[in-house]
Structure 1
Amino acid sequence: MSVPGPIRRHGGRDPLRAGQNRLRLPHVMLDALAFLLDKLALFFVTCAPPPERERVYRRGDLLEVPRTLFTHFGIYVGDGRVAHLIPDILPAVTSDARRLRSKVTSARLLLGVLAKRASVRVDSVEDFAYGASVRLNTHAMERAAGSRGQPDAEAAARRAERLLGSAPYSLLWNNCEHFVTWCRYGAARSLQTEQFCQWLKSLIRDQRNAVLAGLLGLLCLACLGVSSGTALPAVFIPFTLWMAS
């Protein structure tokens, strides 16, 4: 007796297998999106120099890690641990303490920047470094302190520990550098933000940029045609730059 083969419909296609393929497609797309986010975040948070040899830090020391486009800061709280503010989307979507304590991935970090959510957490020096070198900051922040004098290292560590948990985040106005300067000196300040704003100010004040924006606007009108979507930016942006210069 011959055994009948699988029943096929729709021109010989297996409907069960087709349904499985349709269910698998969203998972493949999610995996691809997670992969792209991870690679994009790695560009911003990693740096070429390898970690330096192990050294002894004192509780309350201010540590910094050079990244590709910025420097990440933290407060050493002892036992090989660092308190730092890091963008993290997870506190906005779950309250599971076990998941929140896990290492922040690149995708979690990048989504936290976009959602303006962060957490103040304690990680090992290795996790804080994220593959880059760790430096002891002994000069830039002390100059920023001005007349406040030498900060109390133990008080800085205690302040950092009191702030553990979810926190709002802003790339310019509430970042990791604001966190450590508040812990060390009682006043939130970011030298990186100030340098960026100074560069942006010089860019706006340069009248040549207004002329360049005007030429680019005319080029867009010539290529894309005159419409409300092209004419308004082509006029408004150069006018704004010219008035601000």
Structure 2
Amino acid sequence: MLDTLTFLLQRLFLLAPIGLSSRLPPPPLPGRCDRDEAPPQPAPPHRFQRGDLLEVPRTLFTHFGIYLGEDRVAHMIPDILPVLTAERRQVQEMVTNTRLLLGVLAKRASVRVDAVEDFAYGAVIRLNAMDRAVLRGPLPRGPLPGEEVARRAELMLGSVSYSLLWNNCEHFVTHCRYGSAQSLQTDQFCEWLKLRILAQRNVLLTALLGLLSMVCLGISLSTALPTLVIPFTLWMAS
């Protein structure tokens, strides 16, 4: 079972070896400019200020970090190794895909410090692009002073719990920069997903997925009950 989950995660997270955030198409993603606005410009190298929020695109995700100064970035990344060893040198090495995927499965992560180049992993860095989206949100709040943002990030360094949707790298940076942990991308994705699930035409698909889980995992109370209850509940709620 673990091998199957690892294989599926590898297919999903391929080419995204540094960090995860729940940016999944096709729902529109918050934290980006509207269509009638100019896209945020890449930040010139070595022009970052302490406390800046940096983001880099991955193949399927966007990864976030807080600039600490002196070419250092604090960021949250799934990692299984801190659970297995306290050897600081090993933990501080570059996180491999295997470590990352096992960290996702184990729901463990590290808030670690890496060089800007390692954090970017060859991608273009965008600077404070989330500020505008947060100010347009339901509870608009500007960023905290840069020194406080950086201190918040430094206080969180070390092993932490992780959730792909509920406690990821975007929650980390928004807690540091705005004083409230949130993931704008997760919120909008979940809203999009809820609308799709509640549509009556998708109830049959949900039932078929349940039957498929019974075929793959075997017939048991844990597979049969959701297969029957979830489609019925969704049908009644739609």
TM-score (norm 1): 0.71
Cα distance, 1:45 vs. partner?
4.1
Q: How does 1:9-88 map to 2 (within 5 A)?
A: 41-45=13-17, 54-88=45-79
Pick aligned residue for 2:163 from 165, 170, 182: 170
In structure 2, C-alpha distance between the alignment counterparts of 1:134 and 1:123, rounded to whole Å? 14
In structure 2, C-alpha distance between the alignment counterparts of 1:158 and 1:110, rounded to whole Å? 29
Cα distance, 1:190 vs. partner?
0.4
39 and 195 in structure 1: CA distance in 2 versus 1, 3 angstrom threshold:
closer
Identity of counterpart residues, as a percentage? 63
Cα distance, 1:244 vs. partner?
2.9
Pick aligned residue for 2:82 from 84, 91, 112: 91
8 Å contact from structure 1 (residues 37, 107) kept in 2: no
Q: Could you give the per-residue CA deviations for residues 27-73 of structure 1, whole angstroms, max 9, x where no partner exists?
A: xxxxxxx9998787433448xxxx98634111110000111222111
In structure 2, C-alpha distance between the alignment counterparts of 1:98 and 1:231, rounded to whole Å? 47
Mapped pair 1:154 → 2:126: no
Q: What's the Cα RMSD here?
A: 3.2
Cα distance, 1:151 vs. partner?
2.1
Mapped pair 1:189 → 2:161: no
Q: Could you give the per-residue CA deviations for residues 186-220 of structure 1, whole angstroms, max 9, x where no partner exists?
A: 11010011011101110122111114445x48x97
Structure whose CA Rg is larger: 1
In structure 1, C-alpha distance between the alignment counterparts of 2:173 and 2:118, rounded to whole Å? 18
Partner of 2:118: 127
145 and 167 in structure 1: CA distance in 2 versus 1, 3 angstrom threshold:
farther
**Structure 1 unpaired stretches of 5+:** 1-33
Pick aligned residue for 1:198 from 179, 185, 191: 191
8 Å contact from structure 1 (residues 209, 241) kept in 2: no
In structure 1, C-alpha distance between the alignment counterparts of 2:142 and 2:227, rounded to whole Å? 51
Cα distance, 1:106 vs. partner?
1.6
Partner of 1:100: 91
In structure 2, C-alpha distance between the alignment counterparts of 1:180 and 1:68, rounded to whole Å? 20
Q: Could you give the per-residue CA deviations for residues 91-124 of structure 1, whole angstroms, max 9, x where no partner exists?
A: 0000001111111112111111111000111100
In structure 2, C-alpha distance between the alignment counterparts of 1:228 and 1:42, rounded to whole Å? 32
Partner of 2:21: none
In structure 1, C-alpha distance between the alignment counterparts of 2:60 and 2:137, rounded to whole Å? 21
- Deviating above 6 A after TM superposition, structure 1's stretches of 4 or more consecutive aligned residues are 34-40
In structure 1, C-alpha distance between the alignment counterparts of 2:187 and 2:146, rounded to whole Å? 25
Q: Could you give the per-residue CA deviations for residues 169-198 of structure 1, whole angstroms, max 9, x where no partner exists?
A: 000111001101111111101001101110
- 1:238 partner SS: helix
150 and 35 in structure 1: CA distance in 2 versus 1, 3 angstrom threshold:
closer
- 1:92 partner SS: helix
Residue type at the aligned position of 2:15: F
Residue type at the aligned position of 2:201: R
Work out the number of aligned pairs and report it: 202
- 1:209 partner SS: helix
- 1:104 partner SS: coil
